[in-house]
Every structure is written in C-alpha cells, then in structure tokens.
C-alpha cells in the first residue's frame, strides 16, 4: 500500500515536472545570454492554445506540437526584437509579453473553440523492455513522449552550453558582451538565437499541458507556471542540472499535495495548493547569497561603447 502510494507520487512528480523543465531550461538559455524573459507564462499559454487547436483540427498531436513551437518561436522573436534590438527594459517588456499571451490565447480560444473540449493528444508510450522493470519501469519509462523529451533536454542543454562553441559564445554574451564583441562574436545574433530558442521551449512547455498531460485548453491554464519556471532558473543557478533538481523538488511537493487532497486529509485545500509556492520562496530565500553564477550582463541591453 505504502509502496504503491510512493510509486504513484513519484510517477506523477515526473509527469508534473515536464512543463517546468521545458520552460525553465528555455529561460535559462535566454538568461545565460543576458536576456531576462518574464513572458514565459504568456508564451506557454499561446503554445498551449495553438498546440491544442491544431491538434483539434487535424487530429495529429505532432502537428499541434510543431504549431506550438512555431508560436513560441515567433513570440521569442518578438521578445528579442523588443529587448535586444529596441533595448527596452527587459523586466517590463517580459510582463507585457505575458499579458499579451494571456489575453490573446483567451481571445483566440473564445473565438474558435469557446467551450471545454478534449483532444486526443500524445498517447502514453512505454519504452519496450525498460518499462517492464519493476517499480522503476512504472516511474520512469511509462510516460508520453513529451515527458521523455523534457528529461532528455537536461543533458542536451548541459552539453550545448558547456561543450560547444555556441554555448561558449552564449555564456560570454551574458557575462561580458563587450569582450565577446571585441572577439568578433555577434552578440545581437547570439541573444536572438537564445531568446527564440527559449520561446520554442516555452511553446513546447505549453503544449505539453494541452496535448500531452491534460489534453484540454482553458483560459489561463498555466496558472503562473511560467513564473515558477523563472524562479527555477535562479534556484538551479543557471545550470540545467540545478534546474532539474528544482523542477523535481517543486513537482514532488505538488504531487504530494495532490495526493493529500485526494486522500481527503483534513487540511484546507487553499493551504495545500500554497505549499509548493511557499517551499519555492523558502528555498530561494535560503540561497539568496549564492549568486556567483548569475550572468553579469543579465538585464543589460548590449550596445557598442562610444566612450
């Protein structure tokens, strides 16, 4: 009984971590290049809607996913244009992008679908062989493809950031863009690439909700997940592995909270819902001093000096 409960909580923690992983790793990439994008939640909502709508129309979740990625890319492009080219204050433009995504996704949903509908999203895809392993098989290898993708993204992002020339340029653009520029690195282009990539990943994060985990779309269905993703980037110290640790902590607390509610444990449901956020704040506060990895040029528009 206890065993089954733990397996259930672990399995659902893995599932719940999925959107956070996509969004937070995308955000980490953008931040490492020097751009703080607070619009993640808005991009997720737009990704969730387009993914859902295209799947509804075509019946193919893969097409829905592509549509969500394209939407994320265009919103990332918009953010890059505003913050990198126009050099607008990043925090404010990100909030603007969030409100834009929230409003537009609600509007489009009302115009096109209007009522609650479900789609058949990505099916469960147990990995042959591995999913037969007792306990671990159920926890790790019996999910839908977007869940596997999220976890595969962690080592992939780590490799690209730390072991490739692109990663070096990207981190340099966020740490010392003037130095990067003086060595012929196109800082503007690197930041565009990073922010657009972050947008694509946020789009996937949204789609993972609407066409993989829940298979519905509702107004403001992300409920602030995009902002938690931004917090996870700080929590994880801008490292993919750290982001993974943060996402798992957060989703585990969330899974426990859901389980407690299902069990009918007598705590007010509002309090239970609050738990993951309270824990996030506590952990972040406890690590407030540990900022050594923060990209030094985060939030600073790049412009060639004219001293």
- Cβ pair 238, 35 in contact under 8 A: no
Distances (CA, A) of 149 to 70, 145, 177, 210: 17, 6, 32, 16
Residue 123 binding other proteins, by CB under 8 A: no
Q: Which is nearer to other proteins, 180 or 228 (CB)?
A: 180
Cβ at position 171, least distance to other proteins in Å: 8
Helix 165-175 vs helix 145-163: crossing angle, to nearest 10: 80
Q: Which is nearer to other proteins, 266 or 289 (CB)?
A: 289
Q: Which is nearer to other proteins, 237 or 276 (CB)?
A: 237
| Near other proteins in 44-103, by CB under 8 A | none
Please work out the total of residues on this chain that contact other proteins, with binding judged by CB under 8 A.
25
| Near other proteins in 131-190, by CB under 8 A | 163-169, 171-172, 175-176, 178-185
What CA–CA distance (Å, rounded) separates 96 from 259? Answer: 36
Q: Say whether 118 sits in a helix, a strand or coil.
A: strand
- x-or-dash string of contact with other proteins, 239-278, rule CB under 8 A: ----------------------------------------
Cβ at position 100, least distance to other proteins in Å: 34
Q: Which is nearer to other proteins, 183 or 262 (CB)?
A: 183
Place of tokens 């981190």: 171
| Near other proteins in 14-53, by CB under 8 A | none
CB atoms within 10 A of CB 260: 15
Residue 307 binding other proteins, by CB under 8 A: yes
Query: Residues 146-152: contacts with CB within 8 Å, 24+ apart?
Result: 146/18, 146/65, 146/122, 146/204, 146/207, 146/208, 146/212, 146/213, 147/14, 147/15, 147/18, 147/208, 147/212, 149/22, 149/204, 150/17, 150/18, 150/19, 150/21, 150/22, 150/208, 151/14, 151/21, 151/244
Cβ at position 174, least distance to other proteins in Å: 9
Question: Could you tell me the sign of the dihedral formed by the alpha carbons of 166, 170, 176, 181, in that order?
Answer: positive
Place of tokens 């010392």: 176
Residue 220 binding other proteins, by CB under 8 A: no
Distances (CA, A) of 84 to 87, 122, 208, 295: 5, 36, 28, 16
Q: Which is nearer to other proteins, 270 or 307 (CB)?
A: 307
Q: Which is nearer to other proteins, 165 or 268 (CB)?
A: 165
Cβ at position 280, least distance to other proteins in Å: 26
Cβ at position 188, least distance to other proteins in Å: 12
Cβ at position 242, least distance to other proteins in Å: 15
Cβ at position 235, least distance to other proteins in Å: 19
- Cβ pair 238, 36 in contact under 8 A: no
Q: Which is nearer to other proteins, 116 or 292 (CB)?
A: 292
- Interface with other proteins (CB under 8 A): 163-169, 171-172, 175-176, 178-185, 292-293, 296, 304, 306-307
């Amino acid at each position: 009984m206890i065993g089954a409960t733990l397996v259930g909580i672990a399995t659902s923690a893995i599932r719940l971590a999925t959107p956070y992983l996509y969004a937070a790793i995308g955000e980490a990439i953008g931040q490492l290049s020097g751009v703080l994008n607070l619009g993640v939640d808005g991009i997720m909502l737009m990704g969730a809607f387009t993914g859902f709508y295209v799947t509804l129309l075509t019946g193919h979740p893969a097409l829905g996913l592509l549509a969500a990625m394209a939407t994320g890319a265009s919103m990332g492009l918009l953010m890059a244009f505003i913050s990198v080219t126009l050099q607008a204050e990043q925090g404010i433009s990100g909030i603007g992008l969030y409100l834009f995504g929230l409003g537009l996704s609600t509007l489009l949903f009302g115009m096109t679908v209007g009522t609650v509908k479900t789609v058949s999203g990505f099916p469960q895809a147990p990995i042959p062989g591995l999913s037969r392993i007792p306990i671990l098989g159920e926890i790790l290898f019996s999910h839908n493809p977007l869940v596997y993708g999220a976890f595969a993204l962690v080592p992939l992002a780590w490799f690209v950031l730390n072991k490739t020339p692109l990663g070096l340029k990207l981190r340099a653009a966020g740490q010392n863009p003037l130095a990067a520029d003086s060595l012929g690195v196109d800082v503007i282009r690197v930041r565009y690439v990073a922010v657009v990539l972050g947008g694509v990943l946020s789009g996937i994060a949204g789609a993972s909700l609407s066409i993989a985990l829940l298979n519905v779309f509702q107004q403001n269905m992300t409920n602030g997940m995009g902002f938690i993703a931004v917090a996870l980037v700080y929590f994880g110290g801008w490292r993919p592995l750290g982001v993974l640790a943060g996402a798992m902590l957060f989703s585990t607390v969330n899974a426990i909270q859901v389980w407690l509610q299902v069990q009918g444990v007598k705590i007010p449901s509002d309090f239970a819902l609050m738990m993951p956020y309270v824990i996030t704040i506590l952990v972040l506060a406890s690590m407030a001093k540990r900022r050594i990895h923060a990209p030094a040029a985060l939030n600073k528009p790049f412009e060639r000096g004219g001293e």
